[in-house]
Amino acid sequence: MRAFVGVTDYDWYQRLSAQAYDEVNFWKPGGSTNFKALEPGELFLFKLHAPLNYIVGGAYFVRFYILPSFLAWEAFGEKNGTQSFESLESRIAKYRTTNDPNPQIGCIILSSPFFFAESDWIPAPSDWGKSIVQGKTYYSDTPTGKALFDAVYERIGMPFGRNYFEQVDGVREGLTLTKYRIGQGTFRVMVTEAYHRRCAISGEKTLPVLDAAHIIPFNEEGSYSVRNGLLLRKDIHTLYDKGYLTVTPSYHVEVSPRLKQDYGNGKIYYAYHGQELPNLPNAPQERPSGEYLMWHAEHVYH
């Protein structure tokens, strides 16, 4: 088993530890470097900047994406560890040499965060070097790594060595590992990326006007699984949610006659009627579930 210890500041810890969030975004100001240290479900631990050389909490790694800052804010809001978008932009600018609007930032998306009271802070591992800037990976089969895992699991009340994590589709938690679930922000980002940042129906790629739509709404026991999502242009999303438009299990678009009956218009939307979706995720396991699409056709579309 692996754990990555990432470096953050006290303000980020203090702001997020005061809340009971289901997910957080551990962002990196640079938008050019990938993060490959962990697989989904592995531990990501939070260490404060020196001189506070302590591990103060952690979470479970979900995915890494490079996103424009506005999308990181729209998806996660204060779960970025700042009180406003302006604060996020200011923090990003502090670490960058150029002050670009909507900069690309690295987003390490984490689920089920936990934070320790100061009395439970874990001293940085004995081999932590002063030159480490971003973080370091530890392995459970080494003495230092095992000691770290033991200390973390002792504090969060989980037995060391048990693998809790598995990919499960069709359940309310989406990607789940008993205690770990994807939240709304993660759902939005994962759907956006699965659909190549293009509307599934229109092909529109202007990112600010795209939404991650639930096929089965969450309040109807829908999940945050990517298979319960469609990336749609905002106006198409509205019609989809109101039942004027649906997508069949064969991935064809149907537009209801009621759109014209109710509003005397809809010409631009009827142009999509009968069309096969031009934009779907490449990975079969990320494509919309036929069962979920049928549910929408039977319970929402009219």
Q: Mind listing the pLDDT tens digit of every residue in the chain (302 residues)? A: 899 999 999 999 999 999 999 999 999 998 778 999 999 999 999 999 999 999 999 999 999 999 999 999 999 999 999 999 999 999 999 888 777 778 999 999 999 999 999 999 999 999 999 889 889 999 999 999 999 999 999 999 865 444 444 444 433 344 333 344 689 999 999 999 999 999 999 999 999 999 999 999 988 888 899 999 999 999 999 999 999 999 999 999 999 999 999 999 999 999 999 999 999 999 999 999 999 999 999 999 99
Please state, in angstroms and rounded to a whole number, the distance separating the CA atoms of residues 35 and 64. Answer: 6
pLDDT of residue 158: 65
Q: What is the pTM of this model?
A: 0.89
Do 239 and 259 contact (CB within 8 A), yes or no?
yes
Residue 20: partners with Cβ closer than 8 Å, 6 or more residues away: none
Please state, in angstroms and rounded to a whole number, the distance separating the CA atoms of residues 143 and 140. Answer: 8
pLDDT of residue 164: 43
2-156, which class in CATH?
mainly beta
pLDDT of residue 83: 95
DSSP H or E stretch at residue 253: strand 253-255
Please state, in angstroms and rounded to a whole number, the distance separating the CA atoms of residues 95 and 152. Answer: 30
Please state, in angstroms and rounded to a whole number, the distance separating the CA atoms of residues 11 and 89. Answer: 15
pLDDT of residue 181: 67
CATH 2.30.130.30 boundaries in the chain: 2-156
